[in-house]
Structures are given as structure tokens and as C-alpha cells.
Structure 1
Amino acid sequence: MTLTSKISPYDPQWPLLFTTEKRRIAKGFGAELIETHHVGSTAVPGLCAKPEIDILVVVSEHVNEAARGEFMHTLGYVRGTDLSIDHHFYRRDVDGVRTHKIHVCIAGHGQIARMLRFRDLLRENGSIRQQYQDLKLRLEANNREGIAEYLAHKAPYIDALMDTQLEE
């Protein structure tokens, strides 16, 4: 079983793909849209990544979710399982390959600060960025069970790093 896509060298087009998608999805969130961020590995210059654009959408509240879901569907998105209370998830696949993931969180949700801090750490610290890249490539090479296995094995590294950052 494979990952949702193959890890690739950093592509300088990824920020442009984020900007394009940010514009496409904005009207689906209406007045509750507060801000939109490029997160995940494609948001970190120089980092190898699955070429899946991760987008964090911060909203004031979740309003008219049915209409939002219909709008997102017109853009090719499928609503996934909520990742936690007030943390909604959408994914977009093209020809069976994941291209985008959207995390929609209500302002103040703990995942917002966590995702932004992790992205910023990877951008700022070359040593951490290299360690994380090495881990990702090793997990991809040894992966047998697909994306769930990959994510489960990345989580301890991310959790330990974030816990260390909280202590500082």
C-alpha cells in the first residue's frame, strides 16, 4: 500500500499553488473567514514533501456547513472525518492522487498555534528541517500499510519536538 502521493524534492511552485487555492476556496467560508495559512511541508522552502498543499483556514465559527460542503464539492473536495472538535478536514484528489488538504479550525483552537509553530520551526531551523526530512524519507521507504502508518510514525517526532518547544 502506498502513501497518498510520493515524497518529492521541494518545488518553488508550491507557494503559488497555495495562493491560487486560497483564492478559490475563500468564498466558501463567507464572513466567518478570519485568515488562511499555508502549512505543512510544502510551506517550508527546501523541505522534501508529498506534493499536497496543506491549507489552514481559521474561521470565527462553523456556519452553514451543508452549504460549505456543497461549495467545496464543486471545487473537487470531499469532507473527511473531523480531526477533533471544531477541526474540520477536507481533501482533494485528482486522478486518485491527493493534491490538497484543508484544515478548518475555529479561532483559538489549539491546532492553529501548533501547525503554525511547527511550520515556523522547520523554516527557521535547518537542523530540525533535515532531521524531519530524513525521518519522512525513511518512513516512506519502509511504509507497508499506507498513510495511516506514515502519519502514526511521524507523530512521536512532532509531539516530542513541540513538547520541547513548549518547555523553552
Structure 2
Amino acid sequence: MSLTSPIKPYDPTWPEQYSIEAARLRPIFGSALIGIHHVGSTAVPELAAKGEIDVLAVVKSDGGLEDWSGSLVALGYRRGGDLSSGHYFFKRDVNGARTHKLHVCLDGHGQIARMLKFRDHLRKHAEDRSRYQELKLRLERENTSGIQQYLLAKEPFIRDILANLD
């Protein structure tokens, strides 16, 4: 079974695609926005990835969630399942293909540091970046049941990297 998008070689336009999307998203969160970040594999130069731009929006509170959801729908997003308490997920498809994933996390949520630390580590460590890419490509080839199988199979690698950073 296929993933939400095929893994392809690093595309040097991904950072620009992120910047364009971040500019579209910033006004939605208004004064609740603390920061917005490019995360995930498309944020790591030289790393093959699904061509889906991952955006992390860190917010002071989730009091505007319903308003944000309506504004995000106007930008082509739809609500995904919440990943945990205080970690809201949205996805955007264009012409039937996933193009963006938006993680909205409350300030202090553990996923914020996790996403940023893993991204930063892969940016700086070519050997781990290469190992991660090989793992992702192998998991894509072996995948029989879709994105959840792929995500679960990547988790031990991510957890091991992060455990060695603390």
C-alpha cells in the first residue's frame, strides 16, 4: 500500500514552499502565535522525503481553535485527528495529493522540542541523515498497510536519536 505521497529526492524548492505557506498561515493565529517552523524531512537539506511540507505552529493557547479551523478550511486545509492533547493536526491536499501538514501545538508541548531537535540533528549529522533516508526508503518499499505502518516503523530510529541528545 502506498504512503500519502511517494518519497523522492530532496527538492531545493521545499524551503521556499514552506516560506510561502508560513506567510499564508501566520495571520490566522494572530497574537496567539509564538513561532512557526519548518519541520519534518522537507526541512532537512539533502534528505529524501515525501513532498509534503510540515509546518509547526506554536501557540500561546488554543482558545481560537474553532476560528482557526474555519480560516484553515478557507486555505484548503482540513482537520485531521488530534495527535495528543494540545497537538492539533491539519492537512492540505491539492489535486488529490497531500502538499502540507500543519501541527498546531500549545507552548510547552513535548512534540515541539522533539520535532525541532530531530530536524536540527539531521541537518548537522550527515551519517544519521543517510541512515534515516535509507530506513525511510526501505520502509516505503516494504509497506503493506499504509502511512501508520510507516510512521510506527520509523519511531524507534527517531526515539534512539533523541535519547542520545539528552
Normalising by structure 1, we get a TM-score of 0.97
Task: Give the secondary structure class of the aligned counterpart of 1:27.
Answer: helix
Give the structure 2 partner of residue 99 of structure 1: 99
Give the structure 1 partner of residue 45 of structure 2: 45
Deviations 1:1-48 (A, max 9, x none): 210000010001000000000011111111100110000000000000
Give the structure 2 partner of residue 131 of structure 1: 131
The amino acid across from 1:127 in the alignment is E
CA–CA separation in structure 2 for the residues paired with 1:22 and 1:155: 27
Give the structure 1 partner of residue 84 of structure 2: 84
Contiguous gaps of at least 5 residues in structure 2: none
Shift of residue 72, structure 1, vs aligned partner: 0.2
Deviant stretches of 4+, over 6 Å? none
Shift of residue 51, structure 1, vs aligned partner: 0.3
Deviations 1:64-119 (A, max 9, x none): 22111110000110111111111111001112211100111111111111100000
The amino acid across from 1:141 in the alignment is R
CA–CA separation in structure 2 for the residues paired with 1:141 and 1:3: 10
CA–CA separation in structure 1 for the residues paired with 2:23 and 2:12: 19
Task: Give the secondary structure class of the aligned counterpart of 1:15.
Answer: helix
Shift of residue 63, structure 1, vs aligned partner: 2.0
Task: Give the secondary structure class of the aligned counterpart of 1:117.
Answer: helix
Query: In the TM superposition, what are the counterparts of 1:106-125 in structure 2 within 5 Å?
Result: 106-125=106-125
Give the structure 1 partner of residue 11 of structure 2: 11
Normalising by structure 2, we get a TM-score of 0.98
CA–CA separation in structure 1 for the residues paired with 2:120 and 2:98: 24
Give the structure 2 partner of residue 30 of structure 1: 30
Give the structure 2 partner of residue 58 of structure 1: 58
Task: Give the secondary structure class of the aligned counterpart of 1:29.
Answer: helix
The amino acid across from 2:66 in the alignment is A
Q: How many residues align?
A: 166
What CA RMSD, in Å, does the superposition of the two structures yield over aligned residues? 0.8
CA–CA separation in structure 2 for the residues paired with 1:126 and 1:162: 16
CA–CA separation in structure 1 for the residues paired with 2:65 and 2:42: 27
The amino acid across from 1:115 in the alignment is M
Using the aligned pairs only, state the percent identity: 52
The amino acid across from 2:73 in the alignment is H
CA–CA separation in structure 2 for the residues paired with 1:2 and 1:43: 22
